[in-house]
Amino acid sequence: MKTIVYVSRKTDAARRDPDHVRHINELAIVRNAGLQVTGALVATANKFAQVLEGPNASVDMLMVSILRDPRHTAINLVRDAPIRSRTFPKWSLAYVGPSTYVQGLVEPMLVEPFTEAQTDKLIRLMHEFAREGV
């Protein structure tokens, strides 16, 4: 198994479409479950940050799809690493956003260059958002 974490900038078309994240979420929940991929997505007004985890081939296939997705630009792969266990085992896609609170917490973390500590902090925050009962 592996995990991939990426950050991308939303295209102008994505920013103009108020339903773009809902469409991503609806498709990803079904597709990711079928591929045994779990993870989380955070969307701010201008950016996406996503964690994908699961079988190597499935995660790589999803990343190829994301690289082709016209809603993303400036995709920055900040982590691609093997894992022994999942951070989001119950979520085919945990989604957080949009909200002013999320925007204020997440947007400052999405500034390049990305460090390991910054990526770890982003994943911990996404995990907190995805916790059951929160």
134: pLDDT confidence band, cut at 50, 70 and 90?
very low
54-112 confidence digits (pLDDT tens): 999 999 999 999 999 888 888 989 999 999 999 999 887 776 556 666 667 777 767 77
pLDDT of residue 100: 63
Q: Name the average pLDDT for the chain.
A: 84
130, 129, 121, 132: which is closest to 7 by C-alpha?
Answer: 121
**Per-residue model confidence (pLDDT) at position 4:** 96
Q: Is the pLDDT of residue 39 over 50?
A: yes
H helix count then E strand count, the chain: 5, 5
Kind of pairing between the strands at 38-43 and 94-96? parallel
pTM: 0.80
CA-wise closest residue to 88 among 126, 35, 115: 126
Residues 6+ positions from 3 with CB-CB distance below 8 Å: 51, 52, 53, 59, 79, 80, 81, 83, 87
Residue 133 has a pLDDT of 42
Which residues, including other chains, have CB under 8 Å from residue 1's CB and lie 6 or more apart?
53, 54, 55, 56, 82, 83, 84, 86
